[in-house]
A and B are shown apart, each in its own frame.
Chain A
């Protein structure tokens, strides 16, 4: 084995799995070693706050790939192990256990971790974060005896979790520190829609307030809010964003800036080290600047580029970003990035309905859309954005005009 080249992958989620598959498809003959602090075999992340939390998806169905796949790929897993440091001069990684693993190529798929809530009481039983499979197992255990849940954070994770719990008959209150839900990621119109949706479904939404203290003797009993309110709760789930895991890269002297800096080929500032997924900050031609994305399509597509770089057949990563979220009977799909939009067009009844699209335009060109229960609009929007041409706003807003007819 000594003279076989080893590719070490740190992390074992969506990017890592795509990377190992692409490596083999592109002819990587060396060994592949995957190291992750998560003790579970790779699993789908998006269902965690949705179908897995609500019990519709089993552990087996959550698996990213069936076990025999990894045998075929001839991958060695070191799960439940933490990497202490990367030694770039010696081309090896050192585990917390002291074990040293040498690499010819290294891939950082370190992902992101939850942002901690700066309030006392987060160690109480019944208080959880939601990022990993084990987090959700813990939540499910707490749920068996809980009646009143407080969701701290009104972003996508918080709202998806609120919907999943409400569907199971638990009383749910969502605390949002900002003036509106999804403040960081959605526009006012879309935020208002999600507030209406949750209120119609019986979720209580409190805005402009945050959890200042979680209290209980052993188990959570009450959440104190910054506006003086006290909420009785036996379950709290914190979803206030994530922080990219860049420390290993940073300590190894790789360039970082809100993520590990990579080029369009997923290469870091070290030619033998690539990075992919939520942990990277990468150039986007579509956005016209560097971006960091938290999404599965980004992880898998960037991982393909990373594998291509490792195998010496570079392939540029330049995909249109897209995202989705499921809450109650609503399927939201987002195409593109709306930052810098100068105009919006609504198609459908956003005030009273549950099926519509909001289009974002910049200089009369379509740059993004939020599509609610509107799969067809979403798919055509992706094509229309890439078309990059001035678009007829009246036609966009007119539901009798098929978006297909706007394609040239």
Chain B
């Protein structure tokens, strides 16, 4: 089971075991990690599950898709490696993945 590390804006770290096949967003909700809201439940319509993927992992988490890109465009704190975590499906290869969370999802 892959392990994902979430780092909140204030530096708090959460290392959690995650089932392959779920999303980085759902795994955060399932572990009650504050900082991911997921208002739309992962339908890619709200941009409240924004995270920044550690640069060492972007080749594994893949590219931003076009709908996701539109939503990220309006996020205040968008960075080079910003993603919507509902669009990252967890695979075995992602064992050790590190994502940082923004100060606010609104």
Chain A interface (Cβ < 8 Å from any Cβ of B): 21, 24-25, 44, 46-47, 61, 64-66, 68-69, 72, 296-297, 300, 322, 324, 326, 331, 333, 375-376, 378-380, 383, 404
Contact = CB atoms under 8 A, between A and B. Distances in A.
A66 B16 CA distance: 13
A112 B26 CA distance: 26
B94 interface: no
Interface residues of B, number: 20
Contact of B40 (A64, A296, A404): A296
Contact of A46 (B19, B32, B34, B43): B43
A284 to B, nearest CB: 18
A326 B70 contact: no
A376 B70 contact: yes
B70 A65 contact: no
Interface in B64-79: 67, 70-71, 73-74
Nearest to A324: B45
B67 A375 contact: yes
A25 B29 CA distance: 13
B15 to A, nearest CB: 15
A69 B45 contact: no
A333 B45 contact: yes
Interface in B56-105: 67, 70-71, 73-74
Contact of A326 (B30, B43, B46, B71): B43
B83 to A, nearest CB: 15
A300 B37 CA distance: 10
Given A65-B30, A72-B32, A297 B45 contact: no
Contact of A300 (B30, B39, B45, B47): B39
Interface string B34-60: 100001110101110000000000000
Going nearest first, the 4 A-B pairs with the smallest beta carbon separation are A379-B74, A375-B70, A66-B30, A376-B70
A333 B71 CA distance: 12
Contacts of B70: 375-376, 379
Nearest to A72: B32
A48 to B, nearest CB: 12
